[in-house]
Amino acid sequence: MKHKKIAFFLLPLLLGIIAMSLLQGNQTSEIEEHRTDLYTMNTLISMTMWGVNSQDAIAQGQDLLYRLDHRFSVTKEDSEVSYLNENTGNWLPISTALEEVLYFSRQFAIDTNFSFDPTVSPIVKAWGFTETSNQVPSFEEIQALLPLVDASLIEIDHMSHEIYLPEGMKVDLGAVAKGYAVDELILIMDANNVVSASIDLGGNVYVRGTKMDGTLWNVGIQNPYGAGYVGAMQLQDKAIITSGGYQRYFTEAGNTYHHIIDPRTGYPADSNLASVSIVSDSGMRGDALSTALFVMGKEEAIEYWRRYQNFDMILICEKGNVHITPELEGNFSLVKGYSQGELQVIS
């Protein structure tokens, strides 16, 4: 009788343990999860992928990122971009990757009325944002640098794959390179049948498919006014990227100077936005859009969105109000405790 009682309690416990291990075992029997963290492209990159060939996809992704860093880095002396910047005034052969990114950047600069410009880097450097210490450059210094900040002067020969930069011009693809990497990673995941993935290139996020439990990815947006978050949205198959003046800035003589330089003035963008987050199918366009729309400011950004309506955005105003595009309504919600402003849907 005693044995029976013990068996009566042990049997279900055993059954439960077996059931649980079966449940967990099934998830990993065919679809494998693979994850990697690496430091390249000037940031910490983490990728997690699920799929039968996810290990191959991760390996190819790592290769790709190291290769792209070698092409696009402005700090590495032997990168392709450094080679271009040091040999301006000549027609130079370039890789297809660089040709694609520079062509996109030039067209995008023209399309956004130069609120984005890949040739702004000498001015960013003068402000010290790519250096170890910051300073406010003199008005004369900025005026002297401005004539060479003009992406429309970049000439590309698509037949011979050659490029011409006017003498003294410097390109910096920091605002699009990670987005381009996201797009290339998507191709790798397509080729390797990755069913689900979460990729984070230092804030350039891409979520693929649903999570393995079938739910959408929950992506949070950081509060530009301090610790914590503004809101969160549930997404799949989207690239998400945020630009904001709060990310990097310095104070001098009581004034605050942030790192997003308006290419038209040479000064930190006088934006009435605290941050811009773009939700888009394309990583590169999303990356460039977040910078351009921050520089534009709220009104112009909304106008730009109305013209295309093929991406979504979350604008956080200086006063704290949050504006979202209609597609995000129902997906996006403010976190409890965000009291700086209210949620408004752009129409």
Q: Which residues bind other proteins (CB under 8 A)?
A: 8-9, 11-13, 15-17, 19-20, 36-39, 42-44, 132, 198, 200, 203-205, 207, 211, 217-224, 229, 232, 240-242, 244, 247, 275, 277
- Closest approach of other proteins to the CB of residue 210, in Å: 11
Nearer to other proteins, 17 or 191 (CB): 17
Angle, helices 283-296 vs 96-111, to 10°: value is 30
13 vs 253 by CB, closer to other proteins: 13
**Closest C-alpha among 284, 280, 238 to residue 105:** 284
The residue among 8 and 307 lying less far from other proteins, judged by its C-beta, is: 8
Sign of CA dihedral 82, 86, 89, 90: negative
Cβ closest to other proteins, residue 165 vs residue 197: 197
Q: How many helices (H) and strands (E) does the chain have?
A: 9, 17
Q: Minimal distance in Å, beta carbon 184 to other proteins?
A: 19
Smallest gap from Cβ 42 to other proteins, in A, equals 8
Between 31 and 278, CB nearer to other proteins: 278
The minimum distance between CB 180 and other proteins, in angstroms, equals: 17
Task: Using the minimum distance from each CB to other proteins, give the nearer residue, 51 or 263.
Answer: 51
- Calpha distance 100→117 (Å, rounded): 15
Tokens 């910078």 correspond to 291
Comparing CB distances to other proteins, the nearer of 198 and 271 is: 198
Residue pair 274/249 in contact by the 8 Å Cβ criterion: no
> Which amino acid, one-letter code, is at 50?
W
Smallest separation (angstroms) from other proteins to the CB of 277:
6
Rounded to a whole number of angstroms, the minimum distance from the CB of residue 200 to other proteins is 6
Strand partners, 250: 257
For the chain, the helix, strand and coil percentages under 3-state DSSP, each to the nearest 5: 40, 25, 35
User: Residue 275: helix, strand or coil by DSSP?
Assistant: strand
**C-alpha span between 223 and 258 (Å, rounded):** 16
Instruction: Kindly list the strands in the beta sheet with 312-317, ordered across the sheet, starting from the edge strand earlier in the chain.
Output: 32-40, 43-51, 194-201, 204-208, 238-244, 273-280, 312-317, 322-324, 343-345
3-class secondary structure for 136-199?
CCCHHHHHHHHHHCCHHHCEEECCCCEEECCCCCCCCCCCCHHHHHHHHHHHHHHHCCEEEEEE
Based on CB atoms, which residue is closest to other proteins, 163 or 324?
324
